[in-house]
Amino acid sequence: MTDEANTHIFAMIDQLLEGHQWLERNLGIKPRSGWAIDPFGHTSTMAYLLKQTGISNMLIQRVHYSVKKYLAKQRNLEFFWRQNWDQNGNTDIFCQMMPFYSYDVPHTCGPDPKICCQFDFKRLPGGRISCPWRIPPVEIHDDNVQERAKLILDQYRKKSKLFRTKVVLIPLGDDFRYDQWSEWDQQFQNYQKLFDYMNSHPELHVKAQFGTLSDYFDALHKAADSGNSPSSFPVLSGDFFTYADRDDHYWSGYFTSRPFYKRMDRVLESYLRAAEILYSFALVGAQKSNKMAMFPSSENYKLLIESRRNLGLFQHHDAITGTAKEWVVVDYGTRLLHSIMNLKKVIGDSAHFLILKDKENYKHTPSTPFLQMDDSQASQDSLPQRTTIELSSIPRFIVLYNPTDQDRISVVTVQISSYKVRVLTASGRPVEAQIGAVWDKPITVSKSVFQVSFMAQVSALGLGLYQLVEAPDIKTVPADYTLYLNGREELSIDSPFKINMLKSYTGDVTIENLNLKAWFSGTKGFLEKINTKEDMREHQINIQFWWYGTTSNRDKSGAYLFLPNGEAKFLVFR
């Protein structure tokens, strides 16, 4: 089950495609129903995507308890979920919202968990888990089947009062269940005795059976269409955020938990899409050039599949949310990094083939890659490091890729070993550029590493080629810097850049280009106003920081929850 708050639509679609293709190829199955009982809130985007995959019914669970209570009173827990912008119902998907606190057995058979827990037969005495209400389940036999059947049937009937048809779904499971054959026997054998008793007594007016989620929806729609039940299910639009399961326990802490891995997810997404497009172009080119024997098509296709699956896996509601245990997070991070490295290989191999004018010169040598990427990451929990391009009089070539479907003109910045550099196009035409400093510390400039920035133009879905050459006569403009010392001692910085120092300053700091002028506070550094030159309009800006404390109650803010101790307070800078 994918998370539905932190995920990007690209990854959600990738997960659905990869998973559904696997099911069809390996099991011959096309899913008809959606099952999302554990994501911490639900988005209408997921409903829309499921509808587009051919799924016609879905089930959700984690919705704010007040919303559940309201819908239950109106018997609107089953509804058609429609997109906000849909005027005709073309996006409708039938949805059931589970009515109670949780999806475990104590909270699914009916409104009384103390009774429902007695029918979770994994909790029979002598097992690893028991019922918190201290009334254990008992095995079903001829002497107690009548009493036990009527007890649970009463819960079924009470649950049915919350819905519009006489068809009721009773899930029978929980986290980490059915991992041993003994539980299958415990649940099936005891429930089958209960069902046999119910079905053999017409006066009970019930038909009970095991079934799948799709079996349930089929029975529900059949009952709704029969005329014996009110079938006018309501239409709902919007999403179900933010989730709360009780009191003020709002599950919004996970929106920001472990942001490092949330970013890593987005990086993998961008590399995956770029690799897929370049690989497709290179594959077609290799086929036309009779170079399939040399081009690593099969090897790189496997890397693409593995990367899609690792991306899909990370959309799990305990992965991208940042709510997994530490050792699980390390495994996720390792998979993400492994896939990023593999996709860099796919991109490099594909770009290598595509930039060659004469494909006869193409030769794939895995031990010595033709192209090197502009950054590297040593481990799953380390920050990426920029690649420094060693310059000389021999041109170093930069290959730029534009993965969008529009021509792009953009500033490109790369790290180089010398500030004496010229930037040239592939044909040797000079390109205007600027040299920038690499700051080792806030007031320390590197003497061995620099940055060069220039405007690059690359066509849609195309590759661009530029040259970097070390030149003794500097043609590239160095950047100027102004340091605001804020009372610190003035320093002497040895560098090729012009660096001005301000000991103190209370006036506004301004920066300006052809399009706008911006004013920043000289004391706080905050942006205060912007002047847009095209329309000569002035826009006032007010930036403030506010902070929340955490509650003194037993439950605290954490990976899942956001539990402040009151309203936000203004953060005063001293």
Q: Cα 442 vs. chain centroid, distance in angstroms?
A: 33
Q: Write out the two tokens for 321.
A: 């949310």
* Active-site annotation holds for 239: no
Residue 219 burial (CB count, 10 A) = 18
CA distance 267 to 215: 40
Instruction: Compute the half-sphere exposure of residue 130: CA atoms within 13 Å on the CB side of its CA.
Output: 7
Indicate left, alpha or beta for 349 from its phi (over 0: left) and psi (-120 to 50: alpha). alpha
Pairing of strands 498-502, 480-484: parallel
**Rounded Cα–Cα distance for residues 222 and 225 (Å):** 5
List 14, 38, 86, 480, catalytic entry: 38
Distance, in Å, from the CA atom of 430 to the CA atom of 451, rounded to the nearest integer, reads 17
CA distance 451 to 435: 6
Please, which residues bridge with residue 433 across strands? 454
Per the DSSP assignment, residues forming a β-bridge with 518 are 511, 530
Across the chain, which distance is largest between two alpha carbons, in Å? 100
User: For residue 509, how many other CB atoms are within 10 A of its CB?
Assistant: 17
Q: Which structure tokens are listed for 180?
A: 């041993």
Cβ of 362: how many Cβ atoms within 10 Å?
A: 18
Q: What's the residue count for the chain? A: 574
Closest C-alpha to 77, from 97, 107, 47: 97
- Whole-number Å distance between alpha carbons of 382 and 290: 42
Nearest to 376 by CA among 330, 349, 402, 415: 415
Q: How far apart (Å, rounded) are the C-alpha atoms in residues 280 and 284?
A: 6
- Structure tokens that stand for 546 in this block: 């506010």
Annotated catalytic sites, by residue? 38
